[in-house]
Structure 1
Amino acid sequence: MIRRPKKHELLSLFPEHLLMTRAKRDGTCYLSFDDGPEPEHTPKLLDVLARHGVKASFFLVGEKIEQYPEIVQRIVGEGHMIGNHSYSHWSFRNMNLRKQLDEVYRTDALLRLFDDRPHHRMRPPHGYIGAQLLMHFARRKRSFVYWSYDSLDYQDKPIDWLIDRLRNDPPAAGDIVLMHDDSDKAADALDTLLPEWLAQGMRFDALPGSNA
């Protein structure tokens, strides 16, 4: 059984409109991908999702949005959610609030060019959410998206290990699954597992784009 870290239990105590760790739609799982867009990997992942008819959520890095806007356009055009993963992908831990907000709003402005949303759901790099930024979001009725299921696709393990791990303890209904599109591991694992999971009756969807 994959153990959920204690931190996730604490984060789940926050109201969902401020900090989402799971989603409540019955029977649905939410695949989410961090750190893109990447021209060597994201298109392959999009091909896999399209092949199996699955929608997902992409938390994008502002610098990469500027470099690869055509990939972002494809993500949106194929019905996936785009979210904010900061501009530089540096950890917020050692930034003051002003710098953190620059990272957030600079990326919001880039994302707005693709879906016309004024604000986007935010997943801070490395999962760090400081008290000041949390209060800023609470005052403005904005939300963070964390995750309840960590695929560990970023670990230096062979693809067969990742497939076996996910097959032996798959995500449950309501789980927000953390994956990445800065390598082919997620695409390769999902191309094998999605047909199995869909045959078992699992459903997948993109997260709602914004609560603000």
Structure 2
Amino acid sequence: MNMRPRKYQLLNLLPDALVQTTGLRDGHTRYLTFDDGPDPTYTPPLLDLLAKHNVKASFFLVGQKVERQPKLVERILAEGHMLGNHSYSHWSFKRMTTRKKLSEIHSTDALLSAFDGRLQHRMRPPHGYVGADLLCYFAMQRRSFVYWSYDSLDYQDRPTQEMIGRLRADPPLPGDIVLMHDDSSRAHDALSVMLPEWLLEGHIFRALPQGA
């Protein structure tokens, strides 16, 4: 299974100021990112696990879920993680008008601003689809999208041990932005095994910096 899809290798050719697919390559740092939350069942144990190992991560949140789970958003922020924008409805942008896409982004920015005071947040489009219209708009606004360089494939309904085996055989490299999700137990269950191993090997996990 390909953890580094060619599509996102091609996106890496675009400037980081517009599309970020990797982070700091200092020989040690990786970036865990979690999409599709906050979820009242799956996000709290994941936060417990990250806190246990003093690991910081980035959470790309869905606006509708932010409205339903404000206490979870407060906890994510209080524990030193980054709040990111993952649209309001999580519907694919592929068939949306530009006006609707911008409404999804701006409404979620406004919701998140109530927690951290920031007017804009790092943006990851649902299903990874942007379109030329948003690329142009973000370039004009000097904002950037966050993608990933390493896909954990945790959205596949496969046994946890299979996922652990993949992560061991082909682990994230320094600078990799790792795609995971907190709308199921799969990321938590795999990381409960892998985080201690990776930390013993000297890996460092940081939240992505906020920015334009």
Q: TM-score, normalization: structure 1?
A: 0.97
Give secondary structure in 2 for the equivalent of 1:59: strand
| Contact 1:30-1:175 within 8 A present in 2 as well | yes
Q: Distance between the aligned counterparts of 2:9 and 2:171, measured in 1?
A: 19
Aligned length: 211
Quote the offset at 1:92 in angstroms: 0.1
User: Which residue type is aligned with residue 139 of structure 1?
Assistant: M
Q: Tell me what 2:135 maps to.
A: 134
Quote the offset at 1:60 in angstroms: 0.1
| Contact 1:2-1:169 within 8 A present in 2 as well | no
Quote the offset at 1:4 in angstroms: 2.0
Q: Distance between the aligned counterparts of 2:99 and 2:194, measured in 1?
A: 42
Give secondary structure in 2 for the equivalent of 1:129: coil
Moved over 3 A (4+): none
Q: Tell me what 1:159 maps to.
A: 160
Identity fraction in percent: 64
Q: Distance between the aligned counterparts of 1:181 and 1:102, measured in 2?
A: 24
Give secondary structure in 1 for the equivalent of 2:16: coil
Q: Are 1:19 and 2:19 matched, yes or no?
A: yes
Q: Distance between the aligned counterparts of 2:145 and 2:91, measured in 1?
A: 17
Q: Tell me what 2:201 maps to.
A: 200
Alpha carbons of structure 1 residues 39 and 101: separation in structure 2 relative to 1, 3 Å: same
| Contact 1:121-1:145 within 8 A present in 2 as well | yes
> Once superposed, what is the RMSD of the aligned Cα atoms?
1.0
Alpha carbons of structure 1 residues 178 and 3: separation in structure 2 relative to 1, 3 Å: closer
Q: Tell me what 2:118 maps to.
A: 117
Tell me, which stretches of 5 or more residues in structure 2 are unaligned?
A: none
Quote the offset at 1:3 in angstroms: 5.1
User: Which residue type is aligned with residue 8 of structure 2?
Assistant: H
Task: Provide, for residues 107-144 of structure 1, a one-character-per-residue CA deviation record: whole Å limited to 9, x for no partner.
Answer: 00001011111100100000001000110000000010
Which residues in structure 2 correspond to 1:60-209 (within 5 Å)? 60-209=61-210
Q: TM-score, normalization: structure 2?
A: 0.97
Q: Are 1:41 and 2:42 matched, yes or no?
A: yes
